[in-house]
Amino acid sequence: MARLIGIGGSLRAGSYNSGLLRAAAELMPEGSTLEVHSIRSVPLYDADEEAAIGVPDSVAVLKEALAGADGLLLATPEYNNSLPGVLKNAIDWMSRPPADSARVFAGKAAALVGASPGGFGTILAQEAWLPVLRTLGTRPWFGRKHYVSHAGKLFDGDGNLVDEAARKALAEYLAAFVSAI
pLDDT range class, residue 23, cuts 50, 70, 90 = very high
CATH superfamily to which 3-180 belongs? Flavodoxin domain (3.40.50.360)
pLDDT range class, residue 168, cuts 50, 70, 90 = very high
- For residue 176, give the 3-state DSSP assignment: helix
Residue-range domain boundaries for the chain: 3-180
pLDDT range class, residue 179, cuts 50, 70, 90 = very high
What is the pTM for the complete model shown?
Answer: 0.96
Please say if the pLDDT value at position 4 is more than 90. Answer: yes
pLDDT the model gives residue 83: 96
The residues near 161 (Cβ < 8 Å, ≥ 6 apart) are: 19, 20, 22, 23, 115, 148, 154, 155, 167, 170
pLDDT range class, residue 1, cuts 50, 70, 90 = confident
pLDDT the model gives residue 127: 97
Query: Model confidence over 120-158: pLDDT tens digits?
Result: 899 999 999 999 999 999 999 999 999 999 999 999 999
pLDDT the model gives residue 110: 98
Strands (E), 91-162: 109-115, 139-140, 147-148
Query: 75, 38 in Cβ contact below 8 A?
Result: no
**How many CA atoms does the CB half-sphere of 121 hold within 13 Å?**
13
- Distance in angstroms (rounded) separating the CA atoms of residues 142 and 159: 27
Mean pLDDT of 42-48: 97
Mean pLDDT of 51-79: 97
Sign of CA dihedral 2, 144, 84, 163: negative
